[in-house]
């Protein structure tokens, strides 16, 4: 049965028209495309964005947290075999999700998953791995703004003091200060609270900004300005430098720039992967930038994948066992699923990879 999984995906893609007009989609490159090792069980409504939680006591028990984007949606938790092992209560259109480690709640370091809840204009926070709400019903964001509708989120953990920040985007907004950054802390009742510390980021106005990724070690934020490019900023709000460091990935995209994932080869090198959504490919750029210019990003490769119109993605370089010894790449796909890729299959398609 599993040997024919990609034919089933093609059939599901034909039935799923949520992403846009059919004539704007590229056909799957079934000859050259990289195929996943595992396809997850389907969620109820509409997958959108995954995050990877590493179990530091036993990496074989690491988990994938993914959003099911609908008015009665939820966070789903999958094991490394792609099986659903947990689900949150109903959420009002959760969009993107990210994870962070060791937030102090009642004096106890707690791993968390944070998702945007678009229809309530809130952040929702859950402890991991048990997926229990720790937000006292949700945290209001973009308060006082006419245009709210939170969508994208990435969590930044500052290396110097392990402070955790949420960077959040929205459906629409002003041409400047489009993203807001919040410091996350525990309150006296053991719930998570958020304090807004920074507004930054330009917006082209062409479509929306959904995917955000943070390079914790190098201290950078990247976000996809759909139909325009990828922006780069400093991640530390205490830096006081809100200038745009780079704008790249301007060419070669069929339409939308979507999910961003950062693979670390070493402390300072690796790859930035950006979903070329309607082309069913991932565009790959050097994490360290070009020689002599860390803010210049030449295209290294365009990799066709089996994931259909991928919105969100995530990657880790951690050895997660025999199927993923060099790491795991997770991509959302039409058909209400996420796909797990062996990093070795991705890496060998990138120029200069080992």
**DSSP structure string for 330-349:** EEEETTTEEEEEEHHHHHTT
Nearest C-alpha neighbor of 288 from the set 353, 220, 346, 351: 220
State the chain's maximal CA–CA distance in angstroms: 57
For CA atoms 264, 270, 272, 276, the dihedral sign is negative
Query: What are residue 233's DSSP bridge partners?
Result: 221
**Residue 6 dihedral angles phi and psi, to the nearest 5°:** -70, -30
Q: Distance between terminal CA atoms of the chain?
A: 32
- Give SS3 for 199: strand
Q: Tell me the whole-structure pTM to 2 decimals.
A: 0.92
Question: Which tokens go with 146?
Answer: 């006419």
Task: Determine contact, residues 181/187, Cβ cutoff 8 Å.
Answer: no
Task: Determine contact, residues 304/281, Cβ cutoff 8 Å.
Answer: yes
Place of tokens 């949606």: 73
Note the pLDDT of residue 14. 42
Q: Which residues contact 120 (CB under 8 A, 6 or more apart)?
A: 92, 138
Task: Determine contact, residues 248/298, Cβ cutoff 8 Å.
Answer: no
Length of the chain: 354
Question: Which tokens go with 98?
Answer: 């990210």
Nearest C-alpha neighbor of 98 from the set 204, 182, 39: 182
How confident is the prediction along the chain (354 residues), in pLDDT tens digits per residue? 344 444 444 444 444 444 444 456 667 777 789 999 999 999 999 999 999 999 999 999 999 999 999 999 999 999 999 999 999 989 999 999 999 999 999 999 999 999 999 999 999 999 999 999 999 999 999 999 999 999 999 999 999 999 999 999 999 999 999 999 999 999 999 999 999 999 999 999 999 999 999 999 999 999 999 999 999 999 999 998 999 999 999 999 999 999 999 999 999 999 999 999 999 999 999 999 999 999 999 999 999 999 999 999 999 999 999 999 999 999 999 999 999 999 999 999 996 544
DSSP 6: H
Buried b (16+ CB within 10 A) or exposed e, 173-203: beeeebbbbbbbebeeeebbbbeeebebbbb
Query: What are residue 127's DSSP bridge partners?
Result: 112, 132
Task: Return the number of other C-beta atoms located less than 10 Å from residue 138's C-beta.
Answer: 17
């Amino acid at each position: 049965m599993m040997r024919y999984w990609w034919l089933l995906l093609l059939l599901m893609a034909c039935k799923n028209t949520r992403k846009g007009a059919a004539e704007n989609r590229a056909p799957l490159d079934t000859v050259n495309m990289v195929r996943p090792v595992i396809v997850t069980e389907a969620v109820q409504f509409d997958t959108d964005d995954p995050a990877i939680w590493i179990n530091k006591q036993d990496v074989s028990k690491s988990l994938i947290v993914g959003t099911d984007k609908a008015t009665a949606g939820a966070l789903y938790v999958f094991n490394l075999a792609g099986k659903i092992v947990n689900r949150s209560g109903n959420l009002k259109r959760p969009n993107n999700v990210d994870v962070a480690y060791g937030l102090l709640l009642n004096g106890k370091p707690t791993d968390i998953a944070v998702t945007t809840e678009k229809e309530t204009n809130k952040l929702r926070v859950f402890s991991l791995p048990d997926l229990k709400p720790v937000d006292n019903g949700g945290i209001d964001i973009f308060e006082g703004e006419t245009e709210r509708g939170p969508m994208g989120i990435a969590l930044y953990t500052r290396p110097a003091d392990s402070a955790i920040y949420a960077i959040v985007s929205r459906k629409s907004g002003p041409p400047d200060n489009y993203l807001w950054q919040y410091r996350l802390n525990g309150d006296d009742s053991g719930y998570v609270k958020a304090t807004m510390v920074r507004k930054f980021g330009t917006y082209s106005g062409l479509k929306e900004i959904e995917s955000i990724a943070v390079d914790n070690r190098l201290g950078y934020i990247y976000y996809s300005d759909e139909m325009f490019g990828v922006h780069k900023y400093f991640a530390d709000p205490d830096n006081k430098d809100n200038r745009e460091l780079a704008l790249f990935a301007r060419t070669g995209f069929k339409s939308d720039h979507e999910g961003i994932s950062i693979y670390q080869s070493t402390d300072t090198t690796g790859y930035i992967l950006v979903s070329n959504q309607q082309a069913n490919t991932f565009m790959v750029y050097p994490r360290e930038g070009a020689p002599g210019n860390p803010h210049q990003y030449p295209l290294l490769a365009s990799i066709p994948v089996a994931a259909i119109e991928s919105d969100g993605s995530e990657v880790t370089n951690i050895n997660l066992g025999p199927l993923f010894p060099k790491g795991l790449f997770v991509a959302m796909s039409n058909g209400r699923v996420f796909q797990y890729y062996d990093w070795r299959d991705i890496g060998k398609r990138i120029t200069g990879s080992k």
